[in-house]
Amino acid sequence: MTGRLPDAKRQHVPWQRLMDTQHIQMAHGGGGQLTAELIEEIILPALGGPQQAGLLADAAAVAVDGQRAAFTTDSYVVWPLEFPGGDIGKLAVCGTINDLAVCGARPVALSMGLIVQEGLEIALLKRVLASAGRAAAEAQVPIVTGDTKVVGRDALDGIVINTAGIGQLLPQAQLGFERVLSGDRIVLSGPLGEHGLAIMSQRESLSVSAELASDCAALHHVTAALLASLGDEVRFMRDLTRGGLATTVVDLARGAGRDIEIDEEAIPVNRSAWAAAELLGLDLLTVANEGKLVAVVSESSADEAVKIMAGHDVAAQAAVIGTVGSESASQLVEMITRIGGRRVVQMPYGEELPRIC
């Protein structure tokens, strides 16, 4: 035992003191527990405190001249900038539309702020912007204002896009955790993990699956159709993003103060995504999506909700995947697995990393 490090503590010290709490870590942005803590402990207190309920939910309801409007913003960073099934431009448009949509709003207009790295290929920028324009046109939600900044080579990689969106809250929308009741059904709009796994495969040149593409899509037509037909039978909606289905259902259980049971056999499967997740040792429930949503609806309207959703291409494989259980202090989410076993579903910690072998 020679040449020990001078700064290596010889005595046993508690790990907590060694943990770096002074710097932001990648996991703070992973959409899991650390992200929640960052928001609750650092961001919310500084920006008005938790009494401003909903301040930092996916979208906030604001009153403009007596009209109920929804307002949201989101920044997009993704690498690579272009990936199978989409790119950062399409992502920035669809993501913000979806944040408005799941709050029960009809998206009206978007803003787009670009922060571009010095040296970025103009051809690439053109492609990304054309894609954003196309996505907005298809969704019939215009981008009406914007801003552009260029920063030095070391300030960021490629491009960061911020979009904000404003929408008109639909009168039928009565959504919220507090409206979720025991016996309500959980409907998922399609298979899990396509976005996260498409990105990961592309980023690491994994040859796991050539046909794997991001599910990046706007969902406002699906949410509008649900609300138009089912009104207040729709209790809650959330689009699945970072942290995947696991984060959404755990949030739902906590928000509603109830246990939740989901059935793995009922969850729609994309074979390619499933195989890629198996290969990488990832839990599909925790992998990111960009074009899927979960809707909680009353028991009696669950079949109708599935039928309505399945009428849209982006939700063709919609299915009832779970049930809201009774009120409980533990707010446990359990899943009956494909083999019929039971296991707990937890919010992922942060970035989920592929395994070694």
Partner 1 sequence: MLTYRKKFGRDCEKVHELFARVIARRPRVQVMEICGTHTMAIARSGLRSLLPEGLKLISGPGCPVCVTDQSYLDQAVHAARRGGSVTIATYGDMVRVPGRLGSLAEARASGARVEVVYSADQAVELAKRQGDRQVVFLGVGFETTAPGTALAVRRAKQEGVKNFSVLMAHKLLLPVMRALLAAGDVEVDAFLCPGHVSVILGYAAFEEIARDHVRPCVVAGFDPPQVISGILEILRQLADDKPAATTVYPSVSAAGNAKALEAIEDVFVPVDVAWRAMGVVPDSGLALREELAEFDAQRRLGLPEMESYEMPGCRCGDVITGRCSPFDCSLFEAAKCTPRDPVGPCMVSTEGACAAAYKYERK
Min dist CB 271 to partner 1, Å, is 14
Q: Kindly tell me which of 22 and 67 has the beta carbon lying closer to partner 1.
A: 22
For partner 1, the binding residues in 17-56 under the rule CB under 8 A are 18-20, 23-27, 33-34
* From 82, 265, 299, 304, residue interacting with partner 1 (rule: CB under 8 A): 265
Min dist CB 19 to partner 1, Å, is 6
| Alpha-carbon gap, residue 345 to 249, rounded angstroms | 8
Min dist CB 24 to partner 1, Å, is 7
Which whole-number Å values give the CA distances from 335 to 250, 255, 262, 339, in the listed order?
12, 18, 5, 11
Choose one: 140-148, 185-193, 225-233, 280-288; the region binding partner 1 (CB under 8 A): 280-288
Min dist CB 49 to partner 1, Å, is 24
349 binds partner 1 per the rule CB under 8 A: yes
Which whole-number Å values give the CA distances from 96 to 19, 163, 263, in the listed order?
35, 7, 29
DSSP string covering 44-87: HHHTT-TTSTTTTSSSEEEEETTEEEEEEEEEE--SSSEETTEE
Q: Kindly tell me which of 140 and 337 has the beta carbon lying closer to partner 1.
A: 337
| Alpha-carbon gap, residue 227 to 245, rounded angstroms | 22
Q: Kindly tell me which of 50 and 281 has the beta carbon lying closer to partner 1.
A: 281
| Alpha-carbon gap, residue 144 to 142, rounded angstroms | 6
Question: What SS3 state is found at 304?
Answer: helix
Backbone angles phi, psi at 214, to 5 degrees: -60, 150
Tokens in use for 94? 């669809």
| Alpha-carbon gap, residue 13 to 233, rounded angstroms | 55
| Alpha-carbon gap, residue 308 to 277, rounded angstroms | 29
Q: Kindly tell me which of 25 and 168 has the beta carbon lying closer to partner 1.
A: 25
Other C-beta atoms within 10 Å of 147: how many?
Answer: 10
Choose one: 46-54, 131-139, 312-320, 345-353; the region binding partner 1 (CB under 8 A): 345-353
For partner 1, the binding residues in 169-228 under the rule CB under 8 A are 204, 206
* From 126, 134, 271, 343, residue interacting with partner 1 (rule: CB under 8 A): 343
Q: Kindly tell me which of 159 and 333 has the beta carbon lying closer to partner 1.
A: 333
Is residue 173 within 8 A of residue 105, CB to CB? The reply is yes
| Alpha-carbon gap, residue 105 to 61, rounded angstroms | 9
344 binds partner 1 per the rule CB under 8 A: yes
134 binds partner 1 per the rule CB under 8 A: no
| Alpha-carbon gap, residue 173 to 232, rounded angstroms | 6
Choose one: 109-117, 122-130, 288-296, 344-352; the region binding partner 1 (CB under 8 A): 344-352
Size of the site for partner 1 (CB under 8 A): 52
Element (H, E) at 250: helix 244-256
2 binds partner 1 per the rule CB under 8 A: yes
7 binds partner 1 per the rule CB under 8 A: yes
Choose one: 67-75, 83-91, 143-151, 278-286; the region binding partner 1 (CB under 8 A): 278-286
Is residue 332 within 8 A of residue 15, CB to CB? The reply is no
Min dist CB 118 to partner 1, Å, is 20
Task: Spell out a b/e string for 266-296, using b for 16 or more CB atoms within 10 Å of the CB, else e.
Answer: ebbbbebbbebbeebebbbbbbbbbbbbbbb
Min dist CB 357 to partner 1, Å, is 4
Q: Tokens 């025991």 map to which residue?
A: 182
342 binds partner 1 per the rule CB under 8 A: yes
116 binds partner 1 per the rule CB under 8 A: no
Q: Which residues bind partner 1 (CB under 8 A)?
A: 1-5, 7-9, 12-16, 18-20, 23-27, 33-34, 204, 206, 265, 278, 281-283, 330, 332, 335-344, 346, 348-350, 352-357
